[in-house]
Amino acid sequence: MSINNRDFAPVMGIRLGSAAAGIKYPDRADLVVIELPLGTTSAALFTRNAFCAAPVVVARRNLGVRPPHYLLINSGNANAGTGDQGMEDAEACCEGLAEIVDCQASQVLPFSTGVIGEPLPVSRLVDALPQAINSLTEDGWVTAANAIMTTDTVPKLASRQFLVDGMPTTVTGMAKGSGMIRPDMATMLAFIATDAIITPKLLRECLQQAVEPSFNAITVDGDTSTNDACVLVASGMAPTTPISDAKSVAYQKFCTAVAEVCMDLARAIVRDGEGATKLVEILVEEADSSAEAKDVAYTVAHSPLVKTALFAADPNWGRIMAAVGRAGIEDLDIQNVAIWLDDTCVVCNGARAEEYTEAAGQAVMDQSEFVIRIVLGRGEAESRVLTCDLSYDYVRINAEYRT
């Protein structure tokens, strides 16, 4: 069953607390602690950017040492491009939390988002930890989702519930992301929790399957962050039998719920793209391979000329056609190419469709959400990518990001 974001379901055993550490702005919540019960199963995916941030390095390392007991998240500062000092700072934050809650520093996974290249104000962060810990509650999702925001304009939350042994099992997630969005594994930051009892192997497989059509198929501006991370944790607190068989109905229900939460959050990220006014799905069909289809989809999605036409609601289909033509497909027979705006055929046999009218194209482009469908006529593979337009506000937001 679906749950409205305003009526999201807490996850048994998962507690979240937030605090204002003054990392970038005074009196704004910018620090989150997520407490996981001992025995929680965890899986995570991280950015493939070579300049990955210090918290990514530490989180990946700690995850390989022992199961995490706490997640520590800050906004306002990415602690990326900070060299050895950044590593020491990330470790100091883990140690600061571990000392307060009496656990090992390696049981803490750190995550940061914000300005790159600035030293992390460790003392302010550590000083705010007691406030975050004292506010830990299973109902802390909304406050936490607000605290991890940077240029986001809205918090991003999603929930699903399904039945195992006749009992409701919950999957709830939050994410942040608005710019520097072309994940090469997951999203900017996403934290998804469930009370299901599930084996580590199946949890990892489920996460990998869920991110491909969701977080791994979105783009706002073509930039992959230094700090991307996606975490899926299972508290095991649901009063149900364990999910241990990949062929079981319970596992299929679980994967569906996780995939739907990931897709909701991914769509919310693109819809909230910096300055975005349109949410557009690029669907490429009849490609020779999935890789070819994805190349075409991303070429169209990243074209500044296409994106600015989307902002202007201008049915300038020539820009789409030109982007398809430069996508690097060998031996592309343009006579087989067709382009659609929703149900309106714009290009047929490599040229403007006889039945196409500017009014029909305009009607689609005036919508806030629509599909650009590209048929290559080369095979059976397809790919979908979610993107948005490029507006005046995107330039303003990023020009003023550090001011």
Catalytic positions? 187
**Is 337:375 a contact under the CB 8 Å cutoff?**
yes
H/E stretch holding 306 reads helix 304-312
Q: Burial level of 43, CB count in 10 A (0-12/13-18/19+)?
A: buried
In the block, residue with structure tokens 């995939």: 259
Q: Are strands 31-35 and 15-19 parallel, antiparallel or unpaired?
A: antiparallel
Q: Residues near 378 by Cβ (< 8 Å), separated by ≥ 6?
A: 286, 287, 288, 292, 329, 332, 333, 336
**Is 12:170 a contact under the CB 8 Å cutoff?**
yes
| Tokens representing residue 344 in the block | 């309106």
Instruction: Please give the full DSSP string across 256-298, using - where no structure is assigned.
Output: HHHHHHHHHHHHHHHHT-TT---EEEEEEEEESSHHHHHHHHH
Provide the 3-class DSSP secondary structure of residue 10.
coil
In this structure, the number of other CB atoms found within 10 A of the CB of residue 328 comes to: 10
Distances in whole angstroms, Cα of residue 61 to Cα of each of 46, 66, 68, 160: 11, 9, 11, 31
Provide the 3-class DSSP secondary structure of residue 25.
coil
**Is 317:351 a contact under the CB 8 Å cutoff?**
no
